[in-house]
Amino acid sequence: MSDSSSIWSALSRDIAAATGNLFTCRKHTAVGGGCINSAYVIQDHGIEYFVKLNKANRESMFAAEYAGLNEIVNSHTISAPKPVCFGITGAHSYIVMECIKRGAADKDTYVAFGRQLADMHRINHTQYGWHCDNTIGSTPQINSLTDSWIEFWGESRLGYQLQLAARNGYRRYLEASGERLLERLPVFFIHYTPPPSLLHGDLWSGNYTSDMDGNPYIFDPAVYYGDRETDIAMTELFGGFPAQFYRAYEDAYPLEQDYRVRKKLYNLYHILNHLNLFGEAYLTQAREMINSLVSEAG
């Protein structure tokens, strides 16, 4: 992706307008930003910001990320990079945020992480979903507000991913079993109606860090309000966090005894998303999870 001087000049003007302080990008350094965006740290005499760039037509993705970061920051529970501005300059869209200098995490960091995430999950809404759609990776994430968690999870999460999978060529592998699972969703919630909690939405170790003082930070959110178990389930999907994190979370906000039953149901969403993003390497896992859930539902 081009990093011509016009981009950095435009960002400097927008940062100055957003913060009320003069900023001139004197140095920009490419850093790892995942497979979706180009990422940079920009500097001006010791002041640093973190920048993501993409094509101009992806501005709505950055607008939703800006809103999601603000939702977390304004909860005053767990830290996230403070967003500064977003927009379009030339052929590129962008988001600018606080630059977190990463430090080492110790057991106290993970205890704080567990407690602060529990605090965030106690922030509730009157409905499931959010005021705008966003993305999970680069996949659209539908956040239509609804009063029913079963309806929300069935339509805006699993149902939507199954529709994408059918479009991507997996209909004959997943459609029939997926429909049976959607019909049986109420079985998993006979004695459980979760409050709509503020969620990160894409919470795995790649979207977590700690600063130089050992304070936990979460970033790259896919924010919405829903069952807090979905965040905890995803932390366990790709390796998990140290035991101190889970103990601290449970001490602050104990999970329901049947969380383990629903964990697979919630992680199926992310496996289907990986299938739709990265291809059939995830097909067998998706099929096995669906078949297992259908069997458990009876």
DSSP 239-265: T---HHHHHHHHHHSPPPTTHHHHHHH
Q: Which long-range contacts (CB under 8 A, 24 or more apart) does 246-250 make?
A: 246/114, 247/111, 247/114, 248/110, 248/111, 248/112, 248/113, 248/114, 248/115, 248/118, 249/114, 249/115, 249/117, 249/118, 250/114
Catalytic residue (one of 14, 44, 133, 202): 202
How far apart are the C-alpha atoms of 44 and 47, rounded to whole Å? 5
How far apart are the C-alpha atoms of 281 and 279, rounded to whole Å? 6
Would residue 202 show up in a list of annotated catalytic residues for this protein? yes
The residues, any chain, with a CB within 8 Å of residue 81's CB and separated by 6 or more, are: 50, 69, 97, 98, 99, 100, 217, 219
Active-site positions read: 202
